[in-house]
Every structure is written in structure tokens, then in C-alpha cells.
Structure 1
Amino acid sequence: MHSISTADLHSSDPAHQRQRRARIIRLHPDDDVVVALEQLIGGTPLEGESVVVSGLIPPGHKVATRAIATGAPVHRYGQIIGFARQPIAPGEHVHTHNLDIGEFERDYAFGQGARATEYVPETQRATFDGIVRDDGRVATRNYIGILTSVNCSATVARAIADHFRRDIHPEALAAFANVDGVVALTHGVGCAVDTEGEALALLQRTLGGYACHPNFASVLVIGLGCETNQIPRLLETQGLKEHARLRTFTIQDSGGTAKTIAKGIEIVKSMLPAANDVRRQPVSASHLSVGLQCGGSDGYSGITANPVLGAAVDRLVRHGGTAILSETPEIYGAEHLLTRRAATREVGEKLVARIRWWEDYCARHHASMNNNPSAGNKAGGLTTVLEKSLGGIAKAGSTNLVEVYEYAQPVTAKGFVFMDTPGYDPISATGQVAGGANLICFTTGRGSAYGCAPTPSLKLATNSALWQRQSDDMDLNCGGVVDGEADIDSLGEALFRMMLDTASGKRTRSELHGYGQNEFVPWQIGAIT
């Protein structure tokens, strides 16, 4: 449990001497640091810590509460977040100038922390108004999608989708109120790669996941014609066959750009009546599959929005739903806390295998796992990937880890699962949606503008200053946790209800702004030749 305390602050200006309260937060009794909840000024005594601040400490940043020797581990959340690069005195700012990542042993203790989940009886589970497809899959949105096999067909795909934009051509979908829109999801690859390699297989798996996503009523796949990623092979590898709701063709076979656009428009028009012939109906929350994301994180992320999302995830899992944690480089150094929650040793070892893959991947590319946090993360108070990871896994709540998936693999398990993805949000969320996520929850402390067609994305602000500054992009303010106006559990309940409302059709801020098409970014891992 963390605690918020205050410190007396006296102005150094005699003409303005007055007393006010400066707030800090201690996250664990064994921590070597506390977190400033506002700007701290030198000379400030920290209540309950027997420490006086030395210098300026920005809000969201760390201040040492005890002497730390060079090379000694530094703890936050009761866990190691790095090692002192130099002696750190009590009251000093702890950040990139004096804290660095280092190697240390992690006890994976596979499954030792797993415990039985208390599921809500099926007859009492929460519901949302979903769209039930003919095969029983449940959608939260109802789009027609245009996918491309290669970058060369991106322009025609966009032109076809633009014909149906309600803000430009409102008449195009005027008779189809149940269709959320027509979206083109394009990408920058699909050719000049090994036909039998991992990179092409990953792209095909991603496109296949989108082609059969329940949030698409129908899908049109367009290629150039001579690319490596041939459409017939794409369908074959994904076990798909062309039918009335999955159509394909190429620019070369259609006779060029103008004819391709005209043909695509006519095909989409033919798909609209069936796509519109749907209705929402109450379904169990067990049909929700939620991708968990954080981007533009700050020092408050692991204190407010991430634990709030974790509280909502625990509710979702108890109601039979699925939550997908991802961003493998952003659990690095904290993976031992997840392996302890693994339902079986095999599941835990799968997670460790993905960590080892990333260590090898970074070594081959002469990169560091600590290239995270980003510049914005560091400005917000995060110093090392270890610290970021410990705050990031709070999104996953407290239930057992029941399965581990590779990128864009279909997620079939119920409960809390992990999918291996990069930390870059668009690539990570693209993999989650390809795996079947029909809702995304995205926490941010620095501020993020993001959406994810065809899956709606809820954005959670970690602090009230962000909420006030960028509320146009945010769906929920979690800053009340440190403002003393709300608690994690009550906000978790509010978020769970917001998930159900969003799944029932209530539009998110990113949907209102039209985000979603540009954020489709499949993971590129192979050599381009």
C-alpha cells in the first residue's frame, strides 16, 4: 500500500514567508525513494522521513530518503529500479544523472503466487450490448475494412475508403446507420522479403487476424499483383477463403488505379446492406477482450492510471472476460512478478522465453533493453526500464497469468494473458487487435493522441494536470488518486462500467476525432532486400 504525506514548506523570501503543504508519496516501506506530487524546493522537510530536500525536485520525480552508496540497488514499489552511479545523499533528486540499470538475479518462482480466481456466476455477470455475428463471435463495432497486401496498393485503398467518409460524403452512408464506417488499414511492407521467412509470416498473421476480426462486417483485400505477399498465399496461410464478406483483387488485374478505385467502391457498396443488417443485443462481459496499453508514461503512471486499469481488469476477469498485457520490453525487469502468477510452470517459462528472445534480438542489433524509457517518460520522472516496467505491470491487476502468445496470434484463452509485442504503442496494439481484442484501454501521463480502428480505445490520464490540459483526448481522469478525490478501487469500478458502455457503442474521444486508420502498424522484424 502506498501512502501520501505532506511536508512543511517555507518561502525563502522574508516578504512572503508563509507555510503550505508540499505532498509526497511513499509506495512501499522498503523503498529508498519517495515521489514528489508537486514541485519540491531545497530546504523542504519531508514529513515522516527525517529528510530535507536538496535542490529542486520536479513533480512525479523521485527524492532519496536515505544515503545510497555507489553501486547499491535503489528500490521503488519494494523492487529494484536501478543502481546508484554515484553516492546519493538523503534529499537528493534521483534520476538519470545518478541512477542506471544493472544486472541482478530475479527469482521466477513459477506459479508460487497463483491463486484461484473467484468468478462471478454466469447468471450474474455484467453485460454489454454487442453485435453477435453468424458464427457466434461478438463485435463491439461494425466496420467495413479495406486491407492491403502491400504498400503499393495503399493509395487506392485510401481513395476507396475516402469515398465513404461521413465528414466528406455524408450521403454515401446515409442509408446505413448501423455501419460505423469504412476504413482503410494500410502499411509499408509486403514485398522484398523472404517468402519463407518470419517477417512475411508475421505480416500475414497480422492481416489474417484483421480479416476475420469480429468488428469487421466485411473486408476487402487489395494488392498490386506482383508483390511477394501474394493474396492467394496470404489467405491459404491463414485458413481463409474468399466469400461474399471477404473479397480480394489486384490493381494489375483491374486495369490500373482509376479502375481499381471504381471497382473497390462498387464492391463496398454491395457489402453495405448486409453490414447494416445488424442489431445490438445484451451479451455477457465474457465476450470482451481488452488490450492493455500505456504510452507517454510518467512518474504517476504506476501510482494512478495503471493500478486503476488493473482494478478494472480484475473485475473483467472475474466476469469471464480477457485482458491482454503486452509490450515485452516494458515488463523487462519485472517479469518475475508475472511468472509468480503463472497458472502453470509452462506458462511462466513461455514468458521467460520471450524475454530471452528480446535480449538476443537487442544484442544482434547492438541495442539496449534500456533504450526505454523515452525522452518524454524521463521528463515525467521515469528513469530506467525497470522502473517503467514495475509501474506498467500494474495494468494487469492481480489474477493468474493463464497463457502467453506470440505477436498477433489468436487469443483463445479467457482471463489474464500476455502477448509478445514491442513497446511502441501502434505496433503493440495492432498485434493485440489482430489477436482479437475488441477494446483497448490506454493509460498516459505525458499525453497521447491515439485511436485504433476497428477497435475502440479508451484513454486514461494519470494526473489531473494532463486531464485539464488535454481532456479533449482523454476519457477518464485517474489523477484523483493522488489529489485525494478518489481511490483506485472506485475508479476501477467506474472504468469497468465505462468499458461496458464503450463496448455497447458509446464513442470514445479518439473515435470522435477520427483516429484509427493511420495507427495500423504491423511489426516489421525482417531484412528488406
Structure 2
Amino acid sequence: MTPFIRLHPADDVVIARSQLVGGALAEHVTVKGLVPPGHKVAMRDIATGEPVRRYNQIIGFASRPIAAGEHVHTHNLDIGAEGGAFARDYAFGADVKPPVPRRQATFMGIRRPDGRVATRNYIGILSSVNCSATAARAIADHFSRQTNPAALADFPNVDGVVALTHGTGCGMDTEGLGMQLLERTLAGYATHANFAGVLVVGLGCEANQINAWLAHSSLREGDSLRVFNIQDTGGTRRTVEKGIALVREMLPRANAVKREPCDASHITIGLQCGGSDGYSGISANPALGAAVDLLVAHGGTAILSETPEIYGAEHLLTRRAVTREVGEKLIARIRWWEHYTKINEGEMNNNPSPGNKAGGLTTILEKSLGAVAKGGTTNLEAVYEYAEAVAAKGFVYMDTPGYDPVSATGQVAGGANLICFTTGRGSAYGCAPAPSLKLATNTALWQRQEEDMDINCGEIVDGQASVAEMGERIFRLVLATASGEATKSERHGYGQNEFVPWQVGAVM
């Protein structure tokens, strides 16, 4: 293997496979100084203001002269005077493909009475407002297998009772966008296939009134959805006692399920990347994209998100949009984000994070070009707003922030029953009620944090596996996970604290 990786013949940079020292050769160029693994080396002299390409796409502009062989990073590359808003050819639908032949695969799923299929079988306790979070957690804690194993001893088919609480629900405009997002998120979780039953616990006087939420969400109480308030019930103790009693009523029905062969078309994956590095766009992200192509061929659905982290690469998605309307809806969300960051005195390039930069990513343009690889190569069927119910099959997009817990919360609210999360710097994350698979981009991370990682995509960088081979392995792991095989994050108990609805607007 060469000590560097060239991604495209027209690229101005190559990527260090391992640390390069001064005097080493990268192709025909002598390296000048130390270049960390995953970082970039210039293959030609680049003048100030010239674009720099990786993936044969612009990742930024030289902020000062760059000599061939020099380390290319934040000290000499930025997104330019236009802040990344240079012209891009959206070419709506130009790369749309004919449908691929349908393939068949099955997993052992849990079929609900309405025909939906679950990958897990939980009972959920949701809070309408932060004020009821403590009571909601106390109800779930009573059924903890770690502290009270007897509580669920007779219900082996129930994966657990989880409390999903949050820090909002009041101090907000009852008619504003923030409330709409919260209502939509809670509704998505309250009706999620992976929940056999849900309790919603409120305080009573909050802005997010439970009765209003039920009406706005076209929901009503029943055997699988119960709601009540602390103030009406008579305080915290009585609320916890009532919640425990209601869960006990739900448990026999929740336990009366069995896994059975189900078509892979019932799998909906939320695609995430966090703690990305210079290898993310080389190994784990394209390998996940290959797995997505396989899932789509089997009739399933994959949701790409994190709008601030596709910025600069959105033109690669609009070219795959099945209609101009779908492509323009994506661009409308990009324009919303440009406005949103501006009025908050920020900019789109405040991402990558310090950890991303330490791993070799320099600009949001570079990060985005690697991030979109998670979405594979099939047609973009639809674009959704945050936490909207995903009805389309195939590859779709949901507008979310780049912050992983917020983004994944929106995807699960939209119906994702499994999360695939790539990481290069290392991640500790889970997402109840949807199991979360973590994909390491490099072998060093795998060796360091194997207890948190489910698969090592660093084998691609090491020359031990191809992207297609790794994509097939990821797809098979998805089927096994959807069938009930526990992920590393589930074994560690992750999932309850990572429920983070997107909060926008003034806190009043």
C-alpha cells in the first residue's frame, strides 16, 4: 500500500494513510514537514484564492500560497470570501437512474396490528415538559433490569421501559415553529412501531398542553397511549404510582409478541455521522452508502439528514432528485439555514468541530462532501422537514441540525427503526427505541474503542476490504440488528439521555 490515498485524478491533494514525515514521497512530490494521518498534502503549487479540490469537488480556497508537498489545513485553506456560497450547478434530476431490480431479504421483526414492523419492543415514558421529567424517569426506573430485575422478570419479550425526557415544553410561543417541532417529535415517538405502549406525563400548566398536542397530532388515548398530569394526579408520588400501575397494565399485551420473518422493506435507517475525520469520506461513509444502495434495492428506506453538514455538497443530491420539486425543496432548506445562522450571528463554516479538524477535516465543504456519501447512489425520492412522518420508500432526506442527538431524534420521530452512525474520532451514543450501530472509519479507533464500535470500516483504508464488501457486511449486520441482536450501545445502556428534540426560537 502507498502511504497516501488519492481519491480522484483531478484532486489537488492526497490523504495521508499514516503519519507522513518531511522528505517522504507522495506520488512525485516531496512532503514538507509532518502530516498527521487523515490529513491532506498538496500535490501542486496553489496560489492564494485558488480553489482546492478533493473528490474532484471544491473543498475551499487557498488563504495563502501553498507549496507542493505542504500540509493543507486550517492554516492555509478556508471557504473563501463568499463563505462557501459560490455557484453550484444543481442540475435537478440530471443523475436520476431507472429503478433497480427488486431484491428479497428478510429479518426477524415484530409485526404490529396495523401492519408496521418493529425492530425492538419497548414501553416509553414521554414528558410533555421538562417539569415532568423527574416523574417520568422515576416511573421508568422502577422497571430497570439493573436495579429492579424482578419488575420485568415475567416479560422477557419486552426490551425495557425507557423514559425520554427533554429540556423544553414551556417558555415558548404556543403557535411558533419551536412548538410545532416539539409536538411533531412527541407524536412521532408516541406512535413509533418500536413502542408497544406509551405514557405521556405532563405538569398541567405548561405551554405544551397535552390535550392540545393530542388534537394537533390527531391522536387520542387508548390502550397503547395514556396521558396524565402531575397537578391533576395530586403530586409527584401519586404520579409515579399511577405511571407504574399503567405500565403494569400494558406489560402483558406488550409481552404477547413474537419475532417472525419480515421483508427487509420494513427497515428504515437513519444515517448519522459524528466525530468525523479525514477518513470518514473514504471508508465508513461510502461503505454505509453501499449498504444503503442494498437496502433500497430490497425495498427499504434510508434517511440522510444534518443539513449544515451537506452544505457545499447539496448539488450532488439535487442531481439525484426524482423531480425538480424535490430538489428545490432541499435547496429551500439550505437557504433557510443560511438565513438562520446569519440572524444568530453565526456562519455555516462554524462546523467542522475542533475534533473534526484534529482528524483532518478543514472546511464544512470538505466535511459535507464526505457526509453525503452515506446516502449511496440511488435516486432522492423525497425531502421532509424535521420529525415529519416518512412515507416514501427508498433514499430520502430530512432537514435536521448537524448535532447528532437532535438529528437522530428527528429521524426516529419520522419512523426510523434503526440508526447507522459513522465516526472517526470516536462516539458514545445510543438512541432508544431504535438500536444504533456505530461504524469506525479507521482501525486505530477500532482498536482503541472497540467496546463502543460495531464494525471496523478502517479495513478499507488498510486495503483489507473494498467499499462494496464492507457495504455488504453492514447490510447483513443491519438485518441481524433488526432481528434483535444487541448493539454495543444497547449493551452499555445508551438511549434514554440522547432524546433531544430540536429547540428553535426565543426562550421566554
Shorter-normalised TM range = over 0.9
Distance 2:397 2:174 in 1: 28
Aligned to 1:67: 45
Aligned to 1:259: 238
Distance 1:45 1:451 in 2: 42
Superposed displacement of residue 205, structure 1: 0.3
Kindly indicate whether residue 325 of structure 2 is the aligned counterpart of residue 346 of structure 1: yes
- The structure 1 residue matched to 2:34, chosen from 27, 39, 56, is 56
Superposed displacement of residue 350, structure 1: 0.5
1:459/1:474 contact within 8 Å kept: yes
Residue type of the partner of 2:23? G
Distance 1:389 1:474 in 2: 23
- The structure 1 residue matched to 2:253, chosen from 259, 271, 274, is 274
Distance 2:264 2:39 in 1: 38
1:147/1:157 contact within 8 Å kept: yes
Distance 1:167 1:55 in 2: 52
Kindly indicate whether residue 394 of structure 2 is the aligned counterpart of residue 394 of structure 1: no
Residue type of the partner of 1:42? G
Residue type of the partner of 1:113? D
Aligned to 1:433: 412
1:408/1:435 contact within 8 Å kept: yes
Distance 2:122 2:200 in 1: 14
- 1:203 aligned counterpart, secondary structure: helix
RMSD of aligned alpha carbons: 0.6
- 1:412 aligned counterpart, secondary structure: coil
Aligned to 2:269: 290
Kindly indicate whether residue 31 of structure 2 is the aligned counterpart of residue 42 of structure 1: no
Aligned to 1:450: 429
Kindly indicate whether residue 142 of structure 2 is the aligned counterpart of residue 163 of structure 1: yes
Aligned to 1:190: 169
- The structure 2 residue matched to 1:106, chosen from 88, 92, 103, is 88
Kindly indicate whether residue 99 of structure 2 is the aligned counterpart of residue 117 of structure 1: yes
- 2:135 aligned counterpart, secondary structure: helix
Distance 2:175 2:336 in 1: 20
Superposed displacement of residue 429, structure 1: 0.0
Q: TM-score, normalised by structure 2?
A: 0.99
Aligned to 2:311: 332
Superposed displacement of residue 315, structure 1: 0.2
Distance 1:439 1:461 in 2: 17
Aligned to 1:304: 283
- The structure 1 residue matched to 2:493, chosen from 498, 514, 521, is 514
Residue type of the partner of 1:231? I
Kindly indicate whether residue 178 of structure 2 is the aligned counterpart of residue 199 of structure 1: yes
Aligned to 1:412: 391
Aligned to 1:459: 438
- 1:171 aligned counterpart, secondary structure: helix
Aligned to 2:469: 490
1:119/1:320 contact within 8 Å kept: no
Distance 2:395 2:382 in 1: 8
Superposed displacement of residue 66, structure 1: 0.2
- 1:361 aligned counterpart, secondary structure: helix
Q: TM-score, normalised by structure 1?
A: 0.95
1:119/1:317 contact within 8 Å kept: no
Aligned to 1:29: 9
- 2:242 aligned counterpart, secondary structure: helix
Aligned to 1:355: 334
Q: Residue by residue, what CA displacement relative to the aligned partner does 1:203-236 show, whole Å, maximum 9, x if unpaired?
A: 0000000000000000000000000100011111
Distance 1:475 1:310 in 2: 17
Residue type of the partner of 2:204? G
Residue type of the partner of 2:95? G
Superposed displacement of residue 528, structure 1: 1.1
- The structure 1 residue matched to 2:69, chosen from 84, 91, 97, is 91
Aligned to 1:77: 55
Residue type of the partner of 1:245? S
Distance 2:270 2:340 in 1: 24
- The structure 1 residue matched to 2:403, chosen from 424, 436, 459, is 424
Superposed displacement of residue 250, structure 1: 0.6
Long gaps (5+) in structure 1: 7-22
Residue type of the partner of 1:439? L
- 1:172 aligned counterpart, secondary structure: helix
Aligned to 1:468: 447
Distance 1:34 1:234 in 2: 53
Distance 2:161 2:316 in 1: 42
- The structure 2 residue matched to 1:526, chosen from 492, 505, 508, is 505
Aligned to 1:127: 106
Identity among equivalent pairs (%): 71
Please tell me whether Structure 1 or Structure 2 has the larger radius of gyration of its CA atoms.
1
- 1:130-145 map, 5 Å: 130-145=109-124
Superposed displacement of residue 292, structure 1: 0.2
Long gaps (5+) in structure 2: none
Q: Residue by residue, what CA displacement relative to the aligned partner does 1:12-48 show, whole Å, maximum 9, x if unpaired?
A: xxxxxxxxxxx100000010000001111111122xx
Superposed displacement of residue 119, structure 1: 3.0
Superposed displacement of residue 325, structure 1: 0.1
Superposed displacement of residue 414, structure 1: 0.1
Q: Residue by residue, what CA displacement relative to the aligned partner does 1:424-452 show, whole Å, maximum 9, x if unpaired?
A: 00000000000000000000000000000
Q: Residue by residue, what CA displacement relative to the aligned partner does 1:406-431 show, whole Å, maximum 9, x if unpaired?
A: 00000000000000000000000000
- 2:201 aligned counterpart, secondary structure: strand
Distance 2:181 2:284 in 1: 31
Superposition misfits of 4+ residues, deviation over 3 angstroms: none
Distance 1:247 1:50 in 2: 68
- The structure 2 residue matched to 1:243, chosen from 222, 240, 253, is 222
Distance 1:119 1:325 in 2: 22
Q: Residue by residue, what CA displacement relative to the aligned partner does 1:142-170 show, whole Å, maximum 9, x if unpaired?
A: 00000010000000100110000001100
- 1:183 aligned counterpart, secondary structure: strand
Kindly indicate whether residue 128 of structure 2 is the aligned counterpart of residue 181 of structure 1: no
Residue type of the partner of 1:68? I
Aligned to 1:16: none
- 1:458 aligned counterpart, secondary structure: strand
Superposed displacement of residue 482, structure 1: 1.2
- 2:99 aligned counterpart, secondary structure: coil
Superposed displacement of residue 117, structure 1: 2.4
Q: Residue by residue, what CA displacement relative to the aligned partner does 1:171-195 show, whole Å, maximum 9, x if unpaired?
A: 0000000000000000000011111
Superposed displacement of residue 120, structure 1: 1.7
Distance 2:267 2:119 in 1: 8
1:130/1:504 contact within 8 Å kept: yes
Residue type of the partner of 2:239? T
Residue type of the partner of 1:173? L
